[in-house]
Amino acid sequence: MDAEQVVDKILSEARAEAEAIRSEAQGQADEDRSRLQEELDAFEAETKRLADQAAEDRRARMLAAARMENRKAELTAKVELLNEVFEKAAERLAALEDDEYRDFMADLMARAVETGDEKIIVGRDETRIDDRVIKAVNRQLGPGFKGNLQLASDRADIRGGFILRRGKIQTNVSIDVLVGQTREDMEPEVVAMLFGAPEPQAESSSETQEQD
């Protein structure tokens, strides 16, 4: 083999080796690109999933907050309506016709006295609970009562009704207190009348299991 043939053989082998290296490099590059694309696709999918989850969580939080605000507004409206109902009741009591008002207060007074010698404190603007009412109540009191009720010289900041005072003991029978006590007793009934009876609660799972 002459020198030229040797050179050609070396060049041929070099070209073959270079082609093999290039082919291997190309294959590795293709594999790297494929793996990178898979990683990018996976990252994009995970990013989208997280974004969707975050959006869903945000929507859920917004919906929960909106429901909470609606419940607060509904509760506030109910409380305001209840306040209005009982306020109107107090106003109606204060606006009774004079004779009806006097009879009502005389009956309350006769039932509220304990000894019959209490002082009767009325509101600053009260004109209907007067000496005539006090004398009428004194006549109504039965045995065991002193029948010596008297109007007090001082007055109280009440819009109707009265306060019984015996020494340091006071019994508030003002219209606002009467309506407040009535509200405590009747509020569930009034709530049911205004807003309907509450839905019955479902039985607990433990109770259900016991019945099974």
pLDDT in tens, 6-61: 656 666 777 777 777 778 777 787 787 888 788 888 888 888 888 888 888 888 88
Q: How many CB atoms lie within 10 A of CB 105?
A: 24
Buried b / exposed e along 16-52 (16+ C-beta atoms within 10 A): eeeeeeeeeeeeeeeeeeeeeeeeeeeeeeeeeeeee
Where do we find the tokens 């209907």? 128
Q: Using DSSP, state whether 122 is helix, strand or coil.
A: strand
Rounded-to-integer distance, Cα 156 and Cα 125, Å: 9
Neighbours of 122 (CB within 10 A): 24
162, 120 Cβ separation under 8 angstroms:
yes
Higher pLDDT, 25 or 2: 25
Cβ-contact 112, 160 below 8 angstroms: no
pTM above 0.75, yes or no: no
